Protein backbone atom coordinates (compact mmCIF):
# COMPACT_ATOMS: atom_id res chain seq x y z
CA UNK A 1 0.00 0.00 0.00
CA UNK A 2 2.85 2.44 0.78
CA UNK A 3 4.33 1.91 -2.67
CA UNK A 4 0.93 2.49 -4.24
CA UNK A 5 0.45 5.77 -2.34
CA UNK A 6 3.61 7.47 -3.64
CA UNK A 7 3.33 10.67 -5.66
CA UNK A 8 4.06 10.48 -9.38
CA UNK A 9 7.75 11.37 -9.21
CA UNK A 10 8.54 8.97 -6.37
CA UNK A 11 6.43 6.21 -7.92
CA UNK A 12 8.23 6.41 -11.25
CA UNK A 13 11.62 6.45 -9.49
CA UNK A 14 10.71 3.32 -7.51
CA UNK A 15 8.62 1.35 -9.99
CA UNK A 16 9.83 2.61 -13.36
CA UNK A 17 12.77 0.15 -13.60
CA UNK A 18 10.55 -2.94 -13.48
CA UNK A 19 9.95 -2.39 -17.20
CA UNK A 20 13.42 -2.30 -18.76
CA UNK A 21 14.48 1.28 -19.59
CA UNK A 22 10.82 2.26 -20.06
CA UNK A 23 9.72 4.63 -17.25
CA UNK A 24 6.85 5.91 -19.44
CA UNK A 25 4.86 2.83 -18.43
CA UNK A 26 4.97 3.69 -14.73
CA UNK A 27 4.26 7.34 -15.53
CA UNK A 28 1.07 6.55 -17.45
CA UNK A 29 -0.05 3.88 -14.99
CA UNK A 30 0.21 6.33 -12.09
CA UNK A 31 -1.62 9.05 -14.01
CA UNK A 32 -4.44 6.69 -14.98
CA UNK A 33 -4.97 4.54 -11.89
CA UNK A 34 -3.16 5.74 -8.73
CA UNK A 35 -3.39 5.21 -5.82
CA UNK A 36 -2.89 1.43 -5.74
CA UNK A 37 -3.82 -0.90 -2.90
CA UNK A 38 -1.72 -3.90 -3.94
CA UNK A 39 1.13 -5.08 -6.10
CA UNK A 40 -1.46 -6.83 -8.26
CA UNK A 41 -3.17 -3.50 -8.92
CA UNK A 42 0.14 -1.91 -9.95
CA UNK A 43 0.91 -4.85 -12.24
CA UNK A 44 -2.51 -4.70 -13.89
CA UNK A 45 -2.34 -0.92 -14.38
CA UNK A 46 1.08 -1.08 -16.00
CA UNK A 47 0.08 -3.98 -18.23
CA UNK A 48 -2.98 -1.99 -19.33
CA UNK A 49 -0.61 0.77 -20.42
CA UNK A 50 1.52 -1.69 -22.42
CA UNK A 51 -1.56 -3.26 -24.02
CA UNK A 52 -2.90 0.14 -25.07
CA UNK A 53 0.46 1.39 -26.36
CA UNK A 54 1.07 1.90 -30.04
CA UNK A 55 2.86 -0.70 -32.14
CA UNK A 56 5.93 1.53 -32.23
CA UNK A 57 5.92 1.93 -28.43
CA UNK A 58 5.59 -1.82 -27.91
CA UNK A 59 8.49 -2.47 -30.28
CA UNK A 60 10.48 0.19 -28.44
CA UNK A 61 9.79 -1.61 -25.17
CA UNK A 62 11.04 -4.89 -26.61
CA UNK A 63 14.13 -3.25 -28.09
CA UNK A 64 14.94 -1.70 -24.71
CA UNK A 65 15.87 -5.19 -23.48
CA UNK A 66 19.42 -6.51 -23.86
CA UNK A 67 20.44 -9.70 -25.61
CA UNK A 68 20.90 -12.64 -23.28
CA UNK A 69 24.64 -13.17 -22.80
CA UNK A 70 25.18 -10.48 -25.43
CA UNK A 71 27.70 -7.69 -25.93
CA UNK A 72 26.15 -5.47 -23.25
CA UNK A 73 26.43 -8.26 -20.68
CA UNK A 74 30.06 -8.93 -21.58
CA UNK A 75 30.86 -5.21 -21.36
CA UNK A 76 29.02 -4.81 -18.04
CA UNK A 77 26.54 -2.34 -19.51
CA UNK A 78 23.30 -3.99 -18.35
CA UNK A 79 20.87 -2.44 -15.91
CA UNK A 80 21.25 -3.61 -12.32
CA UNK A 81 18.07 -5.68 -12.64
CA UNK A 82 19.14 -7.45 -15.86
CA UNK A 83 22.63 -8.09 -14.50
CA UNK A 84 21.28 -9.85 -11.42
CA UNK A 85 18.75 -11.89 -13.41
CA UNK A 86 21.26 -13.10 -15.99
CA UNK A 87 23.74 -14.00 -13.26
CA UNK A 88 21.11 -16.06 -11.42
CA UNK A 89 20.46 -18.00 -14.62
CA UNK A 90 24.15 -18.81 -15.00
CA UNK A 91 24.63 -16.66 -18.09
CA UNK A 92 27.72 -15.02 -16.60
CA UNK A 93 29.46 -18.41 -16.44
CA UNK A 94 29.09 -19.76 -19.97
CA UNK A 95 31.63 -22.02 -21.60
CA UNK A 96 33.15 -20.81 -24.89
CA UNK A 97 30.89 -23.25 -26.75
CA UNK A 98 27.77 -21.98 -24.95
CA UNK A 99 28.75 -18.35 -25.54
CA UNK A 100 29.21 -19.09 -29.23
CA UNK A 101 25.77 -20.67 -29.47
CA UNK A 102 24.12 -17.72 -27.68
CA UNK A 103 25.82 -15.30 -30.06
CA UNK A 104 24.66 -17.24 -33.13
CA UNK A 105 21.09 -17.49 -31.79
CA UNK A 106 21.02 -13.80 -30.88
CA UNK A 107 22.13 -12.84 -34.38
CA UNK A 108 19.66 -15.14 -36.14
CA UNK A 109 16.79 -14.03 -33.88
CA UNK A 110 17.48 -10.31 -34.31
CA UNK A 111 17.76 -10.70 -38.09
CA UNK A 112 14.37 -12.42 -38.24
CA UNK A 113 12.32 -10.42 -35.70
CA UNK A 114 14.19 -7.07 -35.39
CA UNK A 115 13.99 -7.14 -31.58
CA UNK A 116 15.96 -9.18 -29.03
CA UNK A 117 14.97 -12.54 -27.63
CA UNK A 118 13.26 -11.97 -24.27
CA UNK A 119 12.74 -14.58 -21.56
CA UNK A 120 12.09 -14.21 -17.84
CA UNK A 121 15.33 -15.88 -16.78
CA UNK A 122 15.20 -15.29 -13.01
CA UNK A 123 13.99 -18.85 -12.35
CA UNK A 124 15.51 -20.43 -15.47
CA UNK A 125 18.80 -22.14 -16.26
CA UNK A 126 21.02 -22.34 -19.33
CA UNK A 127 19.31 -25.48 -20.63
CA UNK A 128 15.78 -24.10 -20.48
CA UNK A 129 16.89 -20.79 -21.99
CA UNK A 130 18.65 -22.40 -24.95
CA UNK A 131 15.72 -24.79 -25.51
CA UNK A 132 13.23 -21.91 -25.57
CA UNK A 133 15.56 -19.90 -27.81
CA UNK A 134 15.74 -22.68 -30.43
CA UNK A 135 11.98 -23.30 -30.34
CA UNK A 136 10.91 -19.68 -30.56
CA UNK A 137 13.26 -18.89 -33.44
CA UNK A 138 10.80 -20.91 -35.56
CA UNK A 139 7.79 -18.75 -34.60
CA UNK A 140 5.97 -16.34 -36.89
CA UNK A 141 6.73 -12.66 -36.10
CA UNK A 142 3.27 -11.92 -34.69
CA UNK A 143 3.33 -14.95 -32.41
CA UNK A 144 6.82 -14.11 -31.22
CA UNK A 145 6.00 -10.48 -30.49
CA UNK A 146 3.09 -11.60 -28.29
CA UNK A 147 5.34 -14.11 -26.53
CA UNK A 148 7.97 -11.45 -25.88
CA UNK A 149 5.43 -9.03 -24.45
CA UNK A 150 4.12 -11.78 -22.14
CA UNK A 151 7.68 -12.45 -20.99
CA UNK A 152 8.22 -8.72 -20.41
CA UNK A 153 5.20 -8.64 -18.11
CA UNK A 154 6.51 -11.69 -16.24
CA UNK A 155 9.90 -10.02 -15.77
CA UNK A 156 8.19 -6.84 -14.54
CA UNK A 157 6.04 -8.77 -12.04
CA UNK A 158 9.03 -10.60 -10.55
CA UNK A 159 10.89 -7.30 -10.21
CA UNK A 160 7.85 -5.62 -8.67
CA UNK A 161 7.59 -8.33 -6.00
CA UNK A 162 11.03 -7.31 -4.73
CA UNK A 163 10.00 -3.70 -4.10
CA UNK A 164 7.36 -4.08 -1.39
CA UNK A 165 5.51 -6.73 0.63
CA UNK A 166 2.29 -8.07 -0.87
CA UNK A 167 -1.12 -7.00 0.36
CA UNK A 168 -2.39 -9.51 2.98
CA UNK A 169 -5.28 -10.67 0.83
CA UNK A 170 -4.19 -14.14 -0.29
CA UNK A 171 -4.81 -17.58 1.15
CA UNK A 172 -4.05 -21.25 0.58
CA UNK A 173 -6.77 -23.89 0.80
CA UNK A 174 -7.06 -27.60 0.11
CA UNK A 175 -9.68 -30.23 -0.68
CA UNK A 176 -9.14 -33.99 -0.97
CA UNK A 177 -11.51 -36.15 -3.02
CA UNK A 178 -11.54 -39.95 -2.90
CA UNK A 179 -12.03 -41.07 -6.50
CA UNK A 180 -12.15 -44.77 -5.53
CA UNK A 181 -15.29 -44.39 -3.43
CA UNK A 182 -16.60 -41.19 -5.01
CA UNK A 183 -16.66 -39.14 -1.81
CA UNK A 184 -14.73 -36.52 0.14
CA UNK A 185 -11.64 -37.99 1.82
CA UNK A 186 -12.52 -37.29 5.45
CA UNK A 187 -9.95 -37.86 8.18
CA UNK A 188 -6.90 -37.75 5.88
CA UNK A 189 -3.72 -36.40 7.58
CA UNK A 190 -1.87 -33.61 5.70
CA UNK A 191 1.37 -31.76 6.40
CA UNK A 192 2.29 -28.44 4.77
CA UNK A 193 5.96 -27.43 4.38
CA UNK A 194 7.70 -24.33 3.02
CA UNK A 195 10.69 -25.28 0.88
CA UNK A 196 12.11 -21.85 0.06
CA UNK A 197 11.85 -18.85 -2.20
CA UNK A 198 11.84 -18.90 -5.99
CA UNK A 199 14.82 -19.07 -8.29
CA UNK A 200 16.33 -22.16 -6.72
CA UNK A 201 16.89 -20.41 -3.39
CA UNK A 202 16.03 -23.32 -1.14
CA UNK A 203 15.44 -22.90 2.57
CA UNK A 204 18.19 -24.31 4.86
CA UNK A 205 15.69 -27.07 5.64
CA UNK A 206 12.00 -27.57 4.90
CA UNK A 207 9.89 -25.65 7.40
CA UNK A 208 6.74 -27.35 8.68
CA UNK A 209 3.94 -24.81 8.43
CA UNK A 210 1.27 -27.01 9.96
CA UNK A 211 -0.35 -30.42 10.22
CA UNK A 212 -4.03 -30.91 9.44
CA UNK A 213 -6.75 -33.54 9.19
CA UNK A 214 -9.49 -33.16 6.59
CA UNK A 215 -13.05 -32.67 7.84
CA UNK A 216 -16.19 -34.50 6.73
CA UNK A 217 -16.19 -32.54 3.46
CA UNK A 218 -12.57 -33.47 2.71
CA UNK A 219 -11.46 -29.89 3.37
CA UNK A 220 -9.45 -28.12 6.03
CA UNK A 221 -11.47 -26.18 8.59
CA UNK A 222 -9.90 -22.94 7.33
CA UNK A 223 -7.05 -21.68 5.17
CA UNK A 224 -3.73 -23.41 5.74
CA UNK A 225 -2.08 -20.02 5.23
CA UNK A 226 -3.44 -16.52 4.84
CA UNK A 227 -2.59 -12.85 5.17
CA UNK A 228 0.97 -11.85 5.95
CA UNK A 229 1.96 -15.48 6.64
CA UNK A 230 1.30 -16.36 2.99
CA UNK A 231 4.49 -15.69 1.04
CA UNK A 232 5.84 -16.25 -2.46
CA UNK A 233 7.86 -19.43 -2.80
CA UNK A 234 7.76 -23.21 -3.10
CA UNK A 235 5.55 -25.30 -0.82
CA UNK A 236 4.74 -28.96 -0.42
CA UNK A 237 1.64 -30.77 0.75
CA UNK A 238 2.23 -34.27 2.13
CA UNK A 239 -0.89 -36.44 1.98
CA UNK A 240 -1.08 -39.68 4.01
CA UNK A 241 -3.24 -41.45 1.44
CA UNK A 242 -2.05 -44.95 2.40
CA UNK A 243 -3.19 -44.42 5.97
CA UNK A 244 -6.54 -43.06 4.78
CA UNK A 245 -7.27 -45.96 2.41
CA UNK A 246 -6.20 -48.51 5.03
CA UNK A 247 -8.84 -47.06 7.37
CA UNK A 248 -11.36 -47.18 4.52
CA UNK A 249 -10.61 -50.86 3.95
CA UNK A 250 -9.62 -50.31 0.32
CA UNK A 251 -7.96 -53.33 -1.37
CA UNK A 252 -4.21 -52.78 -1.59
CA UNK A 253 -0.93 -54.65 -1.90
CA UNK A 254 1.25 -55.57 1.08
CA UNK A 255 3.39 -52.58 0.26
CA UNK A 256 0.90 -49.86 -0.73
CA UNK A 257 1.41 -48.48 -4.23
CA UNK A 258 0.69 -45.00 -2.86
CA UNK A 259 1.50 -44.38 0.78
CA UNK A 260 2.58 -40.77 1.23
CA UNK A 261 1.90 -38.44 -1.71
CA UNK A 262 4.08 -35.30 -1.80
CA UNK A 263 2.75 -32.44 -3.91
CA UNK A 264 5.18 -29.60 -4.58
CA UNK A 265 3.82 -26.31 -5.94
CA UNK A 266 4.80 -22.68 -6.32
CA UNK A 267 3.08 -19.53 -5.13
CA UNK A 268 3.76 -16.67 -7.53
CA UNK A 269 1.30 -14.07 -6.22
CA UNK A 270 0.49 -14.33 -2.50
CA UNK A 271 -2.17 -11.64 -2.86
CA UNK A 272 -4.42 -14.23 -4.54
CA UNK A 273 -6.34 -17.33 -3.47
CA UNK A 274 -4.58 -20.59 -4.32
CA UNK A 275 -6.70 -23.70 -4.01
CA UNK A 276 -4.48 -26.79 -4.36
CA UNK A 277 -6.56 -29.99 -4.09
CA UNK A 278 -5.84 -33.69 -4.43
CA UNK A 279 -7.96 -36.27 -6.24
CA UNK A 280 -6.76 -39.74 -5.29
CA UNK A 281 -7.34 -43.48 -5.23
CA UNK A 282 -5.03 -46.24 -3.94
CA UNK A 283 -3.48 -46.29 -7.44
CA UNK A 284 -3.50 -42.76 -8.80
CA UNK A 285 -3.70 -39.07 -8.00
CA UNK A 286 -4.00 -35.70 -9.74
CA UNK A 287 -4.18 -32.04 -8.87
CA UNK A 288 -4.82 -28.62 -10.42
CA UNK A 289 -4.63 -24.93 -9.58
CA UNK A 290 -8.00 -23.78 -8.33
CA UNK A 291 -9.08 -20.47 -6.84
Which pLDDT belongs to residue 205?
85
Go through the chain and tell me how many residues it has.
291
Which pLDDT belongs to residue 72?
45
163 contacts 3 by C-beta, under 8 angstroms: yes
Q: What secondary structure letter does DSSP report for 115? A: S
Phi and psi angles of residue 42, each rounded to the nearest 5 degrees, phi first: -65, -45
pLDDT digits (tens, 9 = 90+) for 103-133: 899 999 999 999 999 999 877 788 888 999 9
Which pLDDT belongs to residue 76?
59
**E strand or H helix that includes residue 183:** strand 183-184
195 contacts 206 by C-beta, under 8 angstroms: yes
Which pLDDT belongs to residue 253?
83
Task: From residue 57, give the alpha-carbon distance in Å to each of 22, 49, 110, 245.
Answer: 10, 10, 18, 58
pLDDT digits (tens, 9 = 90+) for 14-49: 999 999 999 999 999 999 999 999 999 999 999 999
Which pLDDT belongs to residue 75?
47
- Tens-level pLDDT at each residue, the chain (291 residues): 599 999 999 999 999 999 999 999 999 999 999 999 999 999 999 999 999 999 999 999 999 998 887 554 554 556 777 677 777 656 777 788 888 888 899 999 999 999 999 999 877 788 888 999 999 999 999 999 999 999 999 999 999 999 999 999 999 999 999 999 999 999 999 999 999 876 445 556 899 999 999 999 999 999 999 999 999 999 999 999 999 999 999 988 889 999 999 999 999 999 999 999 999 999 999 999 987
Look at residues 20, 28, 271 and name the one whose alpha carbon lies nearest to residue 11. 28
Which pLDDT belongs to residue 259?
96
Which pLDDT belongs to residue 24?
98
Which pLDDT belongs to residue 226?
97
Which spans in the chain are helix H? 8-15, 24-33, 39-52, 55-63, 71-75, 80-88, 96-113, 126-136, 141-160, 241-248
Which pLDDT belongs to residue 249?
95
Which pLDDT belongs to residue 88?
66
190 contacts 55 by C-beta, under 8 angstroms: no
Quote the CA–CA distance of 174 and 189 in Å, as a whole number: 12
Three-state DSSP class for residue 69 = coil
Non-local CB neighbours of 65 within 8 Å, separated by 6+ positions: 20, 82, 115, 116, 118, 152
Amino acid sequence: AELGALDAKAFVAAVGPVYENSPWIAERAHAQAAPFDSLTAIDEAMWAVVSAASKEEQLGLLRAHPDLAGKAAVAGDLTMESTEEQQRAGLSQLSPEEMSEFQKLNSAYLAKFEFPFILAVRNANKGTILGAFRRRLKNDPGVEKAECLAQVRKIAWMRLRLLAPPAPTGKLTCHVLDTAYGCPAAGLPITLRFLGGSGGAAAPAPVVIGTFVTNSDGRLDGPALSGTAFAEGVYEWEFKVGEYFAVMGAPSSGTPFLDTVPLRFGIDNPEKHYHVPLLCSPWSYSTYRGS
